[in-house]
Structure 1
Amino acid sequence: MTDVSSPLVSPLADLLAHALAYPEAWEDHPWGETVVKVRQKIFVFLGRDGDSGCHVTVKLPRSGPFALDMPNCAPTGYGLGRAGWITATFAAGEDVPSDLLRGWIKESYQAVAPRKLAALL
């Protein structure tokens, strides 16, 4: 088994494994992007921007205003930003704050999952 803290594991692979650990979470690939859903609802988008870096999109009803103060975060396009979705973009070689993103994934799961599942956390 590979240690997820190992530099050999990409930040996106680590975040994907984290998201998939939530109750009833499963991976899907609509629009050519990796997403994690709870039942039929997406709670995290995990994307790679070619060789230039990666992006993570989550729904942040509580911490969204604070996330938007970060220079690499912006409201998500396609009208999702108005519903509290935030996209964090990281350039190739840039440090990815995995602990912070794990917390955001948890918040997004709790915002999207049915109440009974969210209460299991």
Structure 2
Amino acid sequence: MNAEELLAYCLAKPGAWQDEPWEGDVVAKVADKIFAFLGSGTSIGLKCGATRLEADEWLLQYPDDARVMAYIGRSGWNTLDVGGGIPDERILEAVDDSYAMVVAKLPKSRRPS
């Protein structure tokens, strides 16, 4: 899977849109909340668990291709390498889960229909 395919997958989610809050760093948002950091195209930052403990499962399963995301990792965010040891299907499942967790925290009035 390449960066364009991954971005397209993210943007196909209901209510998803692309933003560039920092020069050169592409993110996918729903409402005004980020659910995927797509920056370089070789990795993706996702909410991988409701807690750090849940997100650590990724680090245990893929020690060479998953790491705690800088600054927001304590909240369950990980960086997952694309095109490495994590199968594409698992990356896409992680995108789905990140999107679902972010949408669930939105007020009902701001959730996509």
Instruction: Give how far 1:47 is off.
Output: 2.3
Are 1:110 and 2:100 matched, yes or no?
A: yes
Picking from 79, 89, 100, the partner of 1:99 is 89
TM-fit CA distance, 1:104:
0.4
Q: Give the greater-gyration-radius structure (CA).
A: 1
Post-superposition offset of 1:97: 2.6
Q: 1:109 to 1:58 in 2, by over 3 A?
A: same
> How far apart are residue 98 of structure 1 and its match?
1.9
- The two structures have a TM-score, normalised by structure 2, of 0.78
**What is the count of residue pairs matched by the alignment?**
103
Q: Distance in 2 between matches of 1:99 and 1:86?
A: 17
TM-score by length of 1: 0.73
CA deviation digits over 1:56-85, x for unaligned, max 9?
A: 10001165222111121111002x010000
Task: Map Cα deviations across residues 16-41 of structure 1 (whole Å, 9 max, x no partner).
Answer: 11111111100011112110000100
Consecutive unaligned residues of structure 1, counting only runs of 5 or more, are: 1-9
Bigger fraction of residues in helix: 2
Which of 37, 48, 60 is residue 48 of structure 2 equivalent to? 60
